[in-house]
Amino acid sequence: MAQSYFQVVVRYTVKPEETETVLRLLGEMAAATRAEEANLSYEFFQGVEDPTRIVILERYADAAGFTAHRDYEHVQSIGAAQIIPRLERRTIQTFEVTE
25-68: pLDDT as tens digits:
999 999 999 999 999 999 999 999 999 999 999 999 999 999 99
Q: How many CB atoms lie within 10 A of CB 18?
A: 17
pLDDT of residue 2 exceeding 80: no
72-83: pLDDT as tens digits:
999 999 999 999
**Which stretches of 2-98 are DSSP H helices?**
19-34, 63-69, 73-74
Which domain does 67 fall in, by range? 4-98
11-32: pLDDT as tens digits:
999 999 999 999 999 999 999 9
Q: What is the CATH number of the domain that holds 25?
A: 3.30.70.100
Number of domains in the chain: 1
Q: Where are the beta strands (DSSP E) in 32-77?
A: 39-46, 53-60
- Reading across the β-sheet that carries 53-60, which strands appear in turn? 39-46, 53-60, 4-14, 87-98
Confidence of residue 99 (pLDDT cuts 50, 70, 90): confident
